[in-house]
Structure 1
Amino acid sequence: MSGPSAPTGAGSDGVRRTRLRWFVQRYPWVAASLLVLVVVLGLLAGGQETTARWVGSAWALVVGLRVAGHMVRDVLAGHWGVDLLALTAIVATVVVGEYVASLVVVLMLTGGQALEDFAAHRARQELRALLERAPTRAHRLGPDGTITDVDVADLGPGDLVLVRPAEVVPVDAELVGPETDFDESSLTGESLPVTRHVGDPVLSGALNTEQAVTLRATAAAADSQYARIVAMVREAAESRAPVVRLADRYAVPFTLFAFLVAGAAWVYHRDPTVVAEVLVVATPCPLLIAAPVAFLGGMSRAARHGLIVKDAGTLEQLSAVRSVAFDKTGTITLGRPTLLAVHPRPPWSADDLLRLAASAEQYSSHVLATTIQDAATRRGLDLLGARSAREEATHGVAADVGGHDVVVGKRQRVASAAPDVEEQNLGPGELAVYVAVDGRFAGTLVMSDPARSDARRTMDELAGLGITRTMMLSGDSRSTAEHIAAAVGIAQVDAECLPEDKVRIVRDLPDRPVMMVGDGVNDAPVLAAAEVGVAMGARGSTAASESADVVILTEDLVRTATAVRVGRRTMTVALQSIWLGIALSVVLMGIAATGVIPAVVGALSQEVVDLLAILNALRALQDDRHERVRRPARAVPAEGARAR
């Protein structure tokens, strides 16, 4: 992941020697080619033209043999690259005595890796910043207040950690005190500091800005959010974009065209020097370098907006997305339902019903379970332990609580245990959790989970990007799902879906590629089934984040549209850079075919073409006017939240 930055040494002379040693070790072929070129120019200056010719020609042919070896391996692997043009140019310039031009071509070929490293170093700046911020040491507080510096990997849940000003939070934690501001910009793209109060969760990777604070670790380093982000960033940095194969796609026609122009020049001029001049300007390094640089730039730019794109190929898929499907709870909605009413059925009272339901829901990781438990705690109700408990994903939970068989969940699930269940009348946007006790219907808990304030804006932006289909998939009742969908501008709704239903619906969508946006455990299968899976919020489900291709580190739904926009711009810039290199090479070939460009000038001109294509590819780093970093919504869904 590290770029080609040279190491430093003590003193200016030491720095120069260290950097020179580093360069020679990292790029030995470039160093050798530069040395030979200097020697040849020195021999020419000393009037030893014959010796210069032999030295220059010999080195050019040595590099030519190396290129030939790479070409044979590529052909055997089924890849038709542009090595044939480079090899032909080297041999042709040696044959006609243009050995200085041969050395320039050789330098261009051997320096291609160094040039790509330099451009990639610039393109990876945001990804690199995330990795470089990862802390390796932490200040652990002992019971007596002593401070011990330990490896971050040695921290565990419950450990007290001191984080000083300008230090990065090493693990997921909660604030013990005092209240302070944290800079989460490298994680979320949010430029303003975020104030955290005592008891608030604090993101690993956040920067402490003002004063020393004490945190209580809630997860080990390996299980913390920042560790997952770092792992995703490393994977993204090492990925290769499928668009790089465009070089192979264009290589054969471009090579044939170059040989055709060279043949025409031979027919017209009958001069092998002109043929060599044509071949010299037909070595399109931009085909090999520009696209990877553009995609690295796109991933880095996405990271600046709080988007981790796991591999470069995902950007290509994002650029072509035509359908977007959203989960409801925790994605379209805030994922923080509130309890509106308790409707018990005699002989149970409201407090009895809520206590039994909350006691059973202790064994569920569903967002609704958290809401029910919180409501019971606020009423001062003591929760009961269970002798046994079983959760059925998306359906509910059954538990033996206080000597009663309690079933909490969807109406269909509760009806299987209590046939006398009665359907609850609901208002717009409301949802009901049904409860059965000892085989009889015991009542309902009515809740509301409002839509995010930025949901309609997200749909508008997606429509502006030409997305032909947006839809919502939900495990909730149809009336609740349709109310939320209408509020945010989604026309197509599939309600009362099981995880397998969501997978089937996404797989059957005709307008592809499909982007699926979700946040819960039960979203993992459908995120994996879509061409592009997007997980909302790094605080959400680990399973969803691991199944997704893109992870949005904030709770800002609008960034789903930003992801599509970044993908499109990256793909456009990559293709533009490839075509820019081809077009300029074609123009130079046409001019060279007239015989007016000396071979050395042609070789240097091709270097300029390389630089122009790479500089254009680096435009993938730039934001356009639509991609200003927006302040994310403050609402955060509970850990493990998912739609039932």
Structure 2
Amino acid sequence: MKVKIMHEIKGRIRFHVTQKRMSYEQADILQYYFSMGKNITHVNVQNRTGDVTVCYQGDREEVIKMIKTFSYENVEVPKIFLENSGRELNEKYKEKLINKVVLRYSSKLFIPYPIRAAISVVKSTKYIKHGIQTLLKGKIEVPVLDATAITVSMLRGDMETAGSVMFLLGIGEILEEWTHKKSVDDLARSMSLNIDKVWLVGSDGKEVLVDSNQIKAGDKVVVHMGNIIPFDGTVTDGDAMVNQASMTGESLPVQKEKDSSVYAGTVVEEGELTICVKEVSGSGRFDKIVSMIEESEKLKSQVEGKAEHLADRLVPYTLLGTGITWLITRNVTRALSVLMVDFSCALKLAMPISVLSAIREASIYNITVKGGKYLEAIAEADSIVFDKTGTLTKAQPTVVDVISFNGQSQDELLKIAACLEEHFPHSMAKAVVDAAAKKGLEHEEEHTKVEYIVAHGISTFYNGRKTIIGSSHFVFEDEKCVVPKGMEEKFDNLPLQCSHLYLAIENELAGVICIEDPLRDEAEAVINSLKKAGLSKVVMMTGDSERTASVIAKRVGVDEYYSEVLPEDKAKFVEKEKSLGRKVIMIGDGVNDSPALSAADVGIAISDGAQIAREIADVTIGADSLYEIVTLKAISNGLMKKIHKNYKDIAIFNTGLIVLGVAGIIQPTLAALLHNTSTLLISLRSMQNLLDD
């Protein structure tokens, strides 16, 4: 690829690709290639001009090397990225908007008035037909008002006013459609699957962890409890309860057994399935998600619904005001001024655009919001509940020690633990697996079917011996395991600063894995910021011991904390708070947080956590920082402020236009122009980023 560097400052290079025309696909390949660079912070590719802007940190030569070695043919881009980049959609609507404006003003310059008038008559049929259809349904809503304004203008011979009204209505339609499609596509892309590894059943019947892009139609994969089903397929073995809410909207899990069909993106809540893969492409799921979002009321916040209903309810009053003005003044011009100015257009257009733009803005910060009503709930929330592990503490806990109680070596105990833990999605399990990998400990599948007990631990038979790993409660109280004789003092002196995973073999403690679960650096500052943003009650809930929980709670500054809680305890607490009239946000990352995430007014999942938590949650935080929660709260609060400001501005400006029109100070044509221009400006303002205001 031949390029020419056009401009350069420290940390930023803009270069031009010397080729005749850059296709959308080539622009997406360039975007993907540079965004994958380790020190690249931002990439912007303009396919029209062939210009590429790259912002980076660190060594300039690394960027130059990337430019020199780039070739379209040598870059492997995920199919889902190319199919759903959104670049073509944006270009399409930009062209639509530019063409409409250019056509409007060039026609006024070059097309004679009689021809323009005839064109206006033809265009008006669409609006008049829509208005009549609305009336025939027994409704007096916005289409009726639009049709009446256009019809009255044409009957008076004022074709310029009729044309202006239709032009501005058309601009509004393009902006609304563009913003809606882009917001829905952005949301759907962020909800699309991003599964790197899957368990493939090998020819010898053993499970092998492989890259998901190696899977072909006809392969068999195993999906364990708490994991997302990665592909459409048919169950060949196993029995499980599958949560299909993301695809079908069903609130209750559905039982799946042999010969049942399963769908990519659904989640195994209980049990385990072996699936024969039917389709490996992700585009089908993307299309299904788009359809689900577009048809779902989830996108509608209460303020959106109120705006739409208010807009329609105001139409009869606008028509009544037109009639009264004519009866009093007997002046058609003054009456038409009322008809040309209504509140409904701005209300119905600006509010949905505000909400969808806020969802789009959240996605810039790697925050996926699954509907406008959740932004509204976050703005109104007064209580927030944090899980501790992987949420207030770092998502990458680390194994710092393995203490043997049965004479086996540390490495042997860690290998057994990793063999069990690798099947299940939790930050503590990941710490064990990572520690074994760092030591180069290869662990064969030497166990029978692994059973995962939510919030407790794992049970199986390893080399014919019953082996369990999990919490103190699970190992010593539920499973009645004991500490080996003579090891009591060693057990009593376990390091207090660590979290502990207990490994027992044949009902006797074999080893304790000590895991450092460091507090996130930003945790205290985030909680203080959330309190300042309007959250009056901050709670921490954890399955950890009272000792560990009290230390963390004091450091971060929560109002209340609860230790040694089970998943159902978290959900019950959320329900209790809601029954007291409080709006509750729940933040978690594990399988055991799922009931509470579902129960809360807004469930927020940390993206590094369990897949089921991300799927059930209403919001997913993609960045590895709790500051994004503060950002989300700021966006939600800003959205409500913007909506209330829009209400106020629409009411004041349009009331003023009506008064001026009835008084005869301004003509209907000017009133219509000012009204539609204000609607357009408010809609454009609604598309602006809230955090830039």
Query: Which TM-score bucket, shorter chain as reference?
Result: 0.5 to 0.7
1:281 aligns with 2:365: no
The amino acid that maps onto 1:399 is: T
The equivalent residue for 2:36 is none
The equivalent residue for 1:162 is none
Indicate the SS of the match to 1:556.
coil
State the distance in 2 between where 1:608 and 1:303 align.
29
The equivalent residue for 1:566 is 635
Deviation at 1:69, TM superposition (A): 1.1
Task: Decide which of 446, 454, 468 is 2:536's aligned counterpart.
Answer: 468
The equivalent residue for 2:214 is 156
The equivalent residue for 1:576 is 645
Deviation at 1:328, TM superposition (A): 1.3
State the distance in 2 between where 1:359 and 1:21 align.
58
The amino acid that maps onto 2:533 is: L
Deviation at 1:346, TM superposition (A): 6.1
Deviation at 1:332, TM superposition (A): 1.0
State the distance in 1 between where 2:166 and 2:466 align.
80
Indicate the SS of the match to 1:386.
coil
Equivalent runs, 1:215-226 vs 2, <5 Å: none
Q: Deviations over 1:171-218 (max 9, x none)?
A: x9xxxxxxxxxxxxxxxxxxxxxxxxxxxxxxxxxxxxxxxxxxxxxx
The equivalent residue for 2:599 is 529
Indicate the SS of the match to 1:577.
helix
The amino acid that maps onto 1:417 is: E
Deviation at 1:600, TM superposition (A): 1.7
1:254 aligns with 2:314: yes
State the distance in 2 between where 1:529 and 1:474 align.
17
The equivalent residue for 1:406 is 467
Check the 8 A contact 1:390/1:397 in 2, yes or no. Answer: yes
**CA shift in 2, pair 1:296/1:365, >3 Å:** closer
Check the 8 A contact 1:333/1:449 in 2, yes or no. Answer: yes
Equivalent runs, 1:320-469 vs 2, <5 Å: 320-345=380-405, 357=417, 360-361=420-421, 364-372=424-432, 375=435, 385-387=446-448, 389-415=450-476, 416-418=478-480, 420=482, 424=492, 429-442=497-510, 444-469=512-537
**CA shift in 2, pair 1:31/1:482, >3 Å:** same
Indicate the SS of the match to 1:155.
helix
The equivalent residue for 1:303 is 363
State the distance in 2 between where 1:414 and 1:113 align.
62
1:112 aligns with 2:172: yes
Q: Deviations over 1:321-378 (max 9, x none)?
A: 2221111111111133334444544677767765655555455544334434555676
Deviation at 1:517, TM superposition (A): 1.4
Deviation at 1:89, TM superposition (A): 3.0
Deviation at 1:463, TM superposition (A): 0.9
Check the 8 A contact 2:382/2:537 in 1, yes or no. Answer: yes
The equivalent residue for 1:101 is 161
Q: Deviations over 1:38-80 (max 9, x none)?
A: 9783379xxxxxxx6x9977975773343221354483xxxx6
The amino acid that maps onto 1:452 is: R
Task: Decide which of 145, 154, 177 is 1:85's aligned counterpart.
Answer: 145
State the distance in 1 between where 2:690 and 2:153 align.
40
Check the 8 A contact 2:184/2:293 in 1, yes or no. Answer: no
Q: Deviations over 1:226-270 (max 9, x none)?
A: 999998789768874333323333235633553564355335423
Deviation at 1:114, TM superposition (A): 2.5
Check the 8 A contact 2:168/2:677 in 1, yes or no. Answer: no
Q: Deviations over 1:481-539 (max 9, x none)?
A: 222222211231222222222222212214533221122233233222222221212x4
State the distance in 1 between where 2:189 and 2:418 align.
40
Deviation at 1:560, TM superposition (A): 0.9
Indicate the SS of the match to 2:657.
helix
Check the 8 A contact 1:519/1:540 in 2, yes or no. Answer: yes
The equivalent residue for 2:132 is 68
State the distance in 2 between where 1:334 and 1:134 align.
24
TM-score by length of 1: 0.68
State the distance in 1 between where 2:450 and 2:174 align.
61
Higher deviation after alignment, 588-597 or 56-65: 56-65
The equivalent residue for 1:491 is 559
**CA shift in 2, pair 1:420/1:270, >3 Å:** same
Indicate the SS of the match to 2:691.
coil
**CA shift in 2, pair 1:66/1:238, >3 Å:** closer
**CA shift in 2, pair 1:276/1:382, >3 Å:** closer
The equivalent residue for 1:617 is 686
The amino acid that maps onto 1:449 is: D
1:602 aligns with 2:642: no
Indicate the SS of the match to 1:434.
strand
**CA shift in 2, pair 1:496/1:592, >3 Å:** same
State the distance in 2 between where 1:414 and 1:92 align.
81
The amino acid that maps onto 2:678 is: V
Q: Deviations over 1:104-146 (max 9, x none)?
A: 334444553134346668x759949979x999xxxxxxxxxxx
Check the 8 A contact 2:539/2:558 in 1, yes or no. Answer: yes
Higher deviation after alignment, 249-258 or 54-63: 54-63
The equivalent residue for 2:656 is 587
State the distance in 2 between where 1:493 and 1:246 align.
38
State the distance in 1 between where 2:406 and 2:179 align.
72
The equivalent residue for 1:202 is none
Indicate the SS of the match to 1:301.
helix
**CA shift in 2, pair 1:374/1:604, >3 Å:** closer
The equivalent residue for 2:589 is 519
Indicate the SS of the match to 1:579.
helix
Deviation at 1:103, TM superposition (A): 4.0
**CA shift in 2, pair 1:38/1:611, >3 Å:** farther
**CA shift in 2, pair 1:595/1:428, >3 Å:** farther
Indicate the SS of the match to 1:282.
coil
**CA shift in 2, pair 1:73/1:313, >3 Å:** farther
Check the 8 A contact 1:330/1:336 in 2, yes or no. Answer: yes
State the distance in 1 between where 2:125 and 2:398 align.
76
Deviation at 1:282, TM superposition (A): 2.4
Task: Decide which of 288, 296, 300 is 1:241's aligned counterpart.
Answer: 300
State the distance in 1 between where 2:417 and 2:175 align.
64
Indicate the SS of the match to 2:520.
coil
**CA shift in 2, pair 1:127/1:221, >3 Å:** farther
Deviation at 1:381, TM superposition (A): 7.0
**CA shift in 2, pair 1:105/1:337, >3 Å:** closer
**CA shift in 2, pair 1:366/1:544, >3 Å:** closer
Gaps of 5+ in 1: 9-18, 45-51, 136-152, 159-171, 173-218, 626-644
Gaps of 5+ in 2: 1-85, 195-210, 217-229, 231-276
Check the 8 A contact 1:450/1:484 in 2, yes or no. Answer: no
User: Percent of counterpart pairs with the same letter?
Assistant: 26
Indicate the SS of the match to 1:509.
helix
Q: More relative contact order in 1 or in 2 (CA 8 Å, sep 6+)?
A: 1
Indicate the SS of the match to 1:534.
strand
State the distance in 2 between where 1:134 and 1:293 align.
27
Indicate the SS of the match to 1:623.
helix
**CA shift in 2, pair 1:230/1:554, >3 Å:** farther
Check the 8 A contact 1:284/1:582 in 2, yes or no. Answer: no
Indicate the SS of the match to 1:303.
helix
RMSD: 4.6
